[in-house]
Structure 1
Amino acid sequence: MTEQPVKPVLQKPPGYRDPSTPVQPGPRPPPSKAVLPTSYKPKKRRRSCCRPCCCCLFALILVLILVVAVACGIFYLWFEPRLPAFHLQSFRIPRFNVTVKTDGTYLDAQTITRVEAKNPNGKLSLFYKQSHVTVTLGEDDTELGPRKVPGFTQRKQNSTSLKAETGVRNQLVDDGVGKRLKAGFRNKEMVVKVEVRSRVGFIVDGQSVGPLGVKVICGGVSLKRLEAGYMPKCTINTLKWINIH
């Protein structure tokens, strides 16, 4: 029996795909990033030197505060600084006249006041800047003044008398105020008040510390008690560090 000739195997051309073979999905391409506008692109953060500088400045301020607090504590414990004490030493009214005219009521008055300032410190001297003395009369607080008193220096545990002459001439006042002042001066029931505004500082080894603004209020008593010899102690209020012009 004759053998059939063997058919040669045909070679598949390049790129041939058998239609019976299932198609397998290929790898997915990576998702593309959305392109942001230039204004939305995150900026690279740069290390700033502000934070270390602020920390150093804060630490320096704390150290300075601590040094000042310690120095003030040592100063207070060693010198025991105290503000001066004030007394109303004398008060006189050499001239007082209330005149009623057709065009109003006029006041003509003069006062002479002495306020004693005492330095209670045993280790510190005091210095006083220019003081302003104001006198008020009656329940309506009719003001006479102010009068300026030059500054001065006060040694340890020393007393100084401040003299101030205040007054007004032909000052127009309300008719009711004039009547009350006239009646109060006549029966000696008129209330007198003296106010002193000044600046006081300490002297340490020739160096000035301060000054501190103070307001001193003396009186608030009747003229009858003052003429009888009663000289009240003045109250002192500490103000802020101010300049009085």
Structure 2
Amino acid sequence: MADKPPLAPAPAMKPKAKTSAAPPPPVAASAAAPGQARTTPPLKKPPLAPPPQVRPQLKPPPALQYRQQQQGGQPRKRRYRNHRGGGCSGRRVCCLATGFVLLALCLALAAACLAYLYYHPRPPSFHLQPVSTTRFRVGNSSAVSAMDVTVAVKVVSWNPNDKVSFEYGDGEGRAELADADGDIALGWAPVAGFDHRARSVAAVGFVAAAKGVVVDEAVAARVRDRYRRRQLAFKVVVDTHVSARAGALRTGMVPVRLLCDGGAMAPPRDGSSGSVVGPMSKCQVYLFRVRWFSLN
């Protein structure tokens, strides 16, 4: 049987292109001889990447570390509180309180205006009668002289109101002898309180006594000369409290001061009537240390 001819070698298969970014290595274009195995060059391994660098962990400050340990290692979370509601409510309360106060002041002012228009109050007037000296003695000395003086003071008040009366509390009165070199204090005495009704006249008086008041010779000489000529001048101050009453309305006690300057010395008493006759000096009234004046 005849021999079969040898089979032709199979055509070489082309290698598939790699999808990697690097281009495939060139393949030799020489044809393999029949009966010889095809050899391929060995693949090159890519270079190894350097190992990643490990950064050392930084330790927290001692204060923060201690705080984290106290809290179980958990970082503290900030808590944000909503203060908006409390602030609004407090502001609303302040606005309401201010509004009520302003409303009360307006009502009080309106009531005071109506009361003034209805009652039309006027301040009382005070006058100082001439001061009578029950005892007056000035010692004679070449260097220093002593005075013994006792004076009787009387203040007359007139209430011109028709519907308003006044009530005066207990106080005190002081008398001084006026002089160019300085007033000479003659002592003080208590003053009893009294009621002053509408459209009426009231009087208040006290007796002040001074013993052993030392003055120099020049002052003693002037005082003796004025006493002989009945030209002594006195100054009277009365401190007390007063309240006003109009119908069912009544005010509280407030301080008041009467200041009577230029009080004259009383002339000799009239034998027939026994009263002090002479011109009276007007007194100034200070309410709360402010001068009392009339709006009429």
1:181/1:76 CA distance change after superposition, 3 Å: same
The aligned residue for residue 83 of structure 2 is 46
Q: Is 1:108–1:170's contact at 8 Å kept on the other side of the alignment?
A: yes
The aligned residue for residue 61 of structure 2 is none
1:111-163 per-residue CA deviation (whole Å, 9 max, x = no partner) reads 11111011111111110011322111131211122221111111111111112
The aligned residue for residue 294 of structure 2 is none
Distance 2:167 2:222 in 1: 40
Which of the residues 241, 253, 257 maps onto 1:211? 253
* SS in structure 2 of the partner of residue 165 of structure 1: strand
Distance 1:142 1:230 in 2: 23
1:186-218 per-residue CA deviation (whole Å, 9 max, x = no partner) reads 233322222222222111335531323222222
Aligned partner of 1:204: which letter? Answer: A
1:197 aligns with 2:247: no
Distance 1:63 1:18 in 2: 93
Q: What count of residue pairs does the alignment treat as equivalent?
A: 219
TM-score, with length taken from structure 2: 0.64
Which of the residues 268, 282, 287 maps onto 1:238? 287
The aligned residue for residue 14 of structure 2 is 7
Distance 1:78 1:172 in 2: 55
Q: Is 1:90–1:115's contact at 8 Å kept on the other side of the alignment?
A: no
Runs (5+) with no aligned partner, structure 1: 20-36
Runs (5+) with no aligned partner, structure 2: 1-8, 24-63, 65-74, 269-275, 291-296
Aligned positions of 1:1-245 closer than 5 A: 5-10=12-17, 12=19, 16-17=20-21, 43-47=80-84, 48=87, 49-101=89-141, 104-139=144-179, 140-223=182-265, 229-240=278-289
1:36-71 per-residue CA deviation (whole Å, 9 max, x = no partner) reads x999x7954412232111111111111111111111
State the superposition RMSD in angstroms. Answer: 3.2
- Alpha-carbon offset, residue 228 of structure 1: 6.9
Q: Percent identity?
A: 25
TM-score, with length taken from structure 1: 0.76
1:180/1:18 CA distance change after superposition, 3 Å: farther
Distance 1:160 1:57 in 2: 46
Q: Which has the higher strand share?
A: 1
1:163/1:54 CA distance change after superposition, 3 Å: same
Aligned partner of 1:147: which letter? Answer: A
